[in-house]
Structures are given as structure tokens and as C-alpha cells.
Structure 1
């Protein structure tokens, strides 16, 4: 009886404690607490709190590299050289000193990053095994994921309030090591989708592959007591020439493309919590590049009898290696390979988005409308201000079909059109017409071949109305269709169709 009474009292105490916890934490907070409280005693021990501590600080226990990932110390080695030119501060569009109250301290991590963390690194050829294709991906241009993306529009994004990257695992290890040559705190998996790394075969010979790759990664430039500062290059891309058994690397190159006027997104917190104010800016990075200084060479040299030889000749000069010429049996261009990787990362690129001037030249020749998107940051890389747009409506099947059938598509940076205003009269006029309609951060437009904007909608307004219930939307122009469950797709389809309808009296059919 005494035991039963004690059990009853304990149940009552737990129930009271649970009720107090619910009042204090709310449903979501209590759910998180319960997920950590493995023994249900309503007390979080240090061991139970450990997973959260690791996620918040990034100080994961060092990962154990398996025997398969440990390179053969007698295998070939490769010298990788880092080239880095820091961000041009004058290209930041908002964050000049003193502008908008941005302090010098907030940008200190950025300003102090002027050289690569490791100008040169020796690596084993076997470490690049991660770039080899799986057995079912050995056709030219058929992409595969080296590091799969784990985020999408439904999962949301990872915390901004972190300083230290988690320990890399598996194929992440070689990419983490390479990016650490630039800065000691690379995050191999970005906070936003699409994460990871994708690759495809660009060329095949009897014994070698050329593998093209694209990597999305970012860096944390600050440490406590400063607040987090995220530096996100638009993308890392490049290629590797390696043997099919990964014992030899003929060539390796990785770089951040620099042909656009802006290629880096930067975001930083003004407080210690996830809800703190976040500042955002973009800028231009002239050079961020890794390249092999030559083919990989044996770390230990054997003679024809298997005896270890000196690596220098009798005169004291290093022994020179002669490498056979590779005869490629099949290959595709770099442009085609890059396009395959881009579509793998961004399904919305199943529609061809032409450069601004080319789009209007094509539209004039084909007597079609231009579906034009004007942004503060790039649409098809991580230095982006159209993240939500590209991950929802622009990759929707009905939208893709209509764009491919009835429009010439293009996207442009505001900065690039501002520069175009100073060029020839026709293109300057096109830029003027776009910039007149633009409102921050993204404007979607339907244009005639002569540049006249006949229909447009701002991304913020678009997101606002698609988050409403159908009965709350007053505008008949953007009312919902009953043919689609997704209001965003339905609304964007109606936007495009309205543009086509308005254009009928202008276009000759």
C-alpha cells in the first residue's frame, strides 16, 4: 500500500511539473524539452543536453575517419595552391562605413580576411576519391550528388547563430580540407537550400575521367565575443582530371566565378539570439581559387627491382616525371557540363534564362514576350535575393511548361542594368524601362520585345497575397484559380497569362 501511495504521489508530482512546464515553455518548447529528456524525469542532465550544445556551438566530437578514408602514405601526393583577393569593400551596396549605422566592428572579420589561411597544402591523390562517379552515373553529363542537399522550402533553413562548423564526415572531409585553405571556418553545408555538391563526367578516356563539379558552401568570419558574420560565395565550381582508381590526379581546379558584378552574399547578426536583427549585403570577390601546381607524384619512388630510390638524381636535382598524354574517347563542353550541374541544383533552370540583351534580341526575332526578373542579388546562385521564388513557383511544372512555350526568359542584377544605362541607346532604353518599374528586392515583369513593361509584380507583394486565403484577396488580377491546389503556382500562372492577354493588341500574330 505504501509503495502504491508513493507511486501515486510521484505521478501527481510529474503531472504538476508537466503542467508547469507547459505553461512555461508552451507546446513547441515542451516538445523540444521532452525530445531531450530521454528518461522522462523532467530534468535535463549534461549528457542529455550534449546534442543541443554541439549544434549550438558547432564543437562536435572529432569524427573518426574510417580505414577506407585513410589515404595510403606511400601513394601519390598533390600540391594545391590557394589564390585569394579579398572582397572589394566599395562594391558592397549598403554597408559603407557609417551608412545605416553599420559599425566598423561588425565588418571586422571581413576586413581582416585578406590572405588565404593556407597558401599551399599537400594532399594525397586518394583523398580525391570522393569525386569519382558512382557505378550508375558513368555517362557524360549525368549528374550525381557528392554531398546531397538536406534542405528544401519545406524543411526551412539552418540556424544563423553559429560560429563553428560541425566535423565533416565521409565525402565532406576532402571538401572541408580544401575550403579550409581559404578560411579556418568553412561550412560544407550551407544554411539555405540547395546545399551540398553535385558533379558530372565531362570527359572519359580508357583510364581517366574529367569530372566537373559545383559546390555550395559558406564561411563564418567571426568568433565570440563578436556576433556571427556569414560569407556565402555564389558557388564554387571547377573540374578534376583523375584516374578511374583515384591513384593519380592529373589536374585540379576550384574557383568562385567572377564574371558577374556581384558574386558574394553576406549576412550578419546584431545580437546573440536567432531573433536578433540581421543585416544583409552583397559584394564582389575578385579571386578565390585553388589549383594543383602539377600532377600528383609518388611520395616514394621505386626502381625496376622494387627498391626505394632517392627522389633526387646524382646532381641533386629532383627527378622529373614524364606523364603520358591522355586521349579522350568521349567528351562534352565545359558549358554543357556546367549547365547540367546548374539544373541539378536549380530545377527552375529547365527554362533557359538568357542574358538581358540577348533575351530582347531573341524576343524581337521570334515576336515573343520577355519574362524578365530584376533582382538585387543573383537568382541562380547562393548570392541571392530570389531564394523563395526559385524554390517554389519557378520550378513548378505548369510554370515551366508555359514559360518554355510562350516566353523568352531572363534575369538581371540591378547593378548590371544601371551599368547598361550608360551604353548604346537601344539597350539603355531597355534598362531604363526596367529600372522604372523596379522595387526592392525582386520585380517580375512581362515585357514586349521593345522593352515596354506591360505587366509586373513585386516579389514581396506576390508572397503576401499568396499567403492569404482566397476570399481575402481583393485584386481580380491576382485571384486564385481552382485548377491548382498551390496558390503560388495558380497566382503566378495567372500573372503570366494576364501578360499574354495584355500583349495581344501589341504583337502581330
Structure 2
């Protein structure tokens, strides 16, 4: 029996390797094509999903994005005493630890509801009561919010996008809310607002866990005649190191003292999709001034200008006045902020 010539064997090996390379090349090309096609399909589906979300809002409604980042647990406590949170049994604080995302990712709201923020006949810079704060002491031991109507009902619906149990009447003063007209052009108005609210995190039979942001603020630009909303933004300010107050019971005994801590909430906001239009104002007041006016509505002592010590010396010298020097640990306003 004869053995195949080596040169034929070598030729067969070369052909086999060549064919194998061609097969692998075609397979990889098909895979890349499929991946690219799938990417296009998924991209189209993502775009379609976004369109579906937008189109899910009915006529006369506006879509709001819900942005929320949970409490920064590293911001709690201090180097000496530590955080009271770690001193509590986990079952009493688990609701806070589990609150890592908003109740809804987006929401639709009727544009006409935003007229609740507006009062006709106001002039630029004027501040008015958005809703009245309840008088008297309010119990810590409450689990379910009451029924709200009017502007409080609108705010309740908005805050429920973060958590399903907001309370518009906080346990501590200041309570209520104010609005102010920042700018106007015909029927188009830019309205700033500020109010106080808090959330109840625990379910019965556990005693309450209270989550109290420093305050909520934001603005609405709307056509007061057509009810069309050009812009809406509601948020908890995050410019200070601490902006939320926490109070809870370390055990399930209501007679025990409340545990207390303060921390930093990075993001809690509702925002409409921005429009490309630029609005021109016939009359306006600066944002800084209008925010200061709203702050003064809550805190009458803010009517006095508080200045850093070095700046106060210069002003006192220029105006030939004495200095009233106040030293504080913490803040006079807004608990946590």
C-alpha cells in the first residue's frame, strides 16, 4: 500500500486552514451585523418607549421626570458620637435603608392644576400664602396622611412620586407654603414657590420613621390664560452639607425618646422636559431676590440682613452703626439646612 506524497498532504492542510478562516470570517461578520442590527432595533425600541411614555400623557397634561438619589448614610452622625442610625435595631430603620428609588420614574399631571400656584392681580415681587399651616402641636405617632384638597392635594400628588406617604402639615413649624411672582409678560408668569413637607416611612405595627427635608422649592412658568405649562421644577435644595432631618423610635415603645439624626440627600426633584423656546420678560425680579423674599415670609427675623463678620465691619464703618454680633451652633432656619 502506497503512502500519499507529502506535497499532497501539505496542500490539503493549506486548503483546510484557508476554508476554516473563511468560515470564521463569515461567522464573525454575521455576528457583528446581528449585533449592529440588534443595537439598532434596541435603539429604536428605546426611542419608541420614550415616545410611548410621552404619548401616555393625555391632552392637557405635562410629563414630569422624577429624579431621586437616596440619603447618603455616610453623612450621618459625627466622629465623636457616631450615627444614631446604627444604634437602632434594623427592623425600625429598614424602610429608610430600602428607599433607594422613587415611587415613580415619571408622571403626568394636568396643566390646569398648576393654576393653584397662581393668584390673579399680583404684581412682580409680591408674595402670597400658598396654603395655611395648621396651628397647634401635631402628633409624632401618625402613619397615614389625611385627604388633601386644593393646592395641598396637588402638592400631595407631586410628592407621592418620591414616596407614597407625604405629609403637607409637618410636625414642627414652619408649616405651610408661599408663592411669589418673579416675572411676567402678558399672560405668561414665572411663579416661584416654597413649602415644607415630610414623609412617613414605616408601616404599622412599627412606630413612625419621619424623613423631613429642609424644604421644597421651585418654579412654574405658565400661560395663565391657556393653562399651558412652559416649565415646572420642584426640588429639595442640596447646596448645604446637611439638608434632611430624621426622627424615629429605636424600639417599638412610644414612650421612649425619639432617635434623631441629620444627613445629606443628594437629589429629590421633579422636572418637566425643557423646551427650546426663550421667554422674554417685560417685568422681572432676580431669582436670588425672590428666593430671599420667600425665605423672609417663613422667618420674620430674616428681615434683618445677616452678614459675615468681616463684611459687617465694613458696612458698620460706612454707615456709622454698631455691630450686633451673634454666634450660633447650627441654623436659625429650616432645621437641617
Bin of the TM-score, shorter chain as denominator length: 0.7 to 0.9
Q: Distance in 2 between matches of 1:176 and 1:202?
A: 24
Q: Would the aligned equivalents of 1:148 and 1:197 in 2 still touch at CA under 8 Å? A: yes
Q: Which position in structure 2 is the counterpart of 1:278?
A: 258
SS of the residue corresponding to residue 375 of structure 1 reads coil
Note the aligned Cα RMSD (angstroms).
Answer: 2.4
Instruction: Say yes or no: does 1:80 pair with 2:64.
Output: yes
Structure number with bigger Rg = 2
**Which aligned pairs between 1:76-475 and structure 2 lie closer than 5 A?**
76-93=60-77, 96=82, 101-135=87-121, 138-151=122-135, 155=136, 157-245=137-225, 247-270=227-250, 275-294=255-274, 325-354=278-307, 358-363=308-313, 366=316, 368-376=322-330, 378-383=331-336
Q: Would the aligned equivalents of 2:152 and 2:168 in 1 still touch at CA under 8 Å? A: yes
Q: Distance in 1 between matches of 2:58 and 2:69?
A: 35
SS of the residue corresponding to residue 371 of structure 1 reads coil
* CA gap 1:232/1:97 in 2 versus in 1, 3 angstroms: closer
**Post-superposition shift, 1:325?**
5.0
TM-score by length of 2: 0.75
Aligned residues: 275
**Post-superposition shift, 1:84?**
0.9
Greater RCO, 1 or 2 (C-alpha within 8 Å, sep 6+): 2
Q: Distance in 1 between matches of 2:289 and 2:66?
A: 27
Q: Would the aligned equivalents of 1:90 and 1:96 in 2 still touch at CA under 8 Å? A: no
- Provide Cα deviations, 1:125-164, integer angstroms capped at 9, x if missing partner: 11111111244xx11121111111123xxx3x21000111
Q: Would the aligned equivalents of 2:84 and 2:261 in 1 still touch at CA under 8 Å? A: no
Q: Distance in 1 between matches of 2:160 and 2:177?
A: 16
- Provide Cα deviations, 1:315-357, integer angstroms capped at 9, x if missing partner: xxxxxxxx87533110001111011111111111111223xxx
Gaps of 5+ in 2: 1-56
- Provide Cα deviations, 1:82-105, integer angstroms capped at 9, x if missing partner: 111111111111685687832333
**Post-superposition shift, 1:291?**
0.4
SS of the residue corresponding to residue 130 of structure 1 reads helix
- Provide Cα deviations, 1:451-489, integer angstroms capped at 9, x if missing partner: xxxxxxxxxxxxxxxxxxxxxxxxxxxxxxxxxxxxxxx
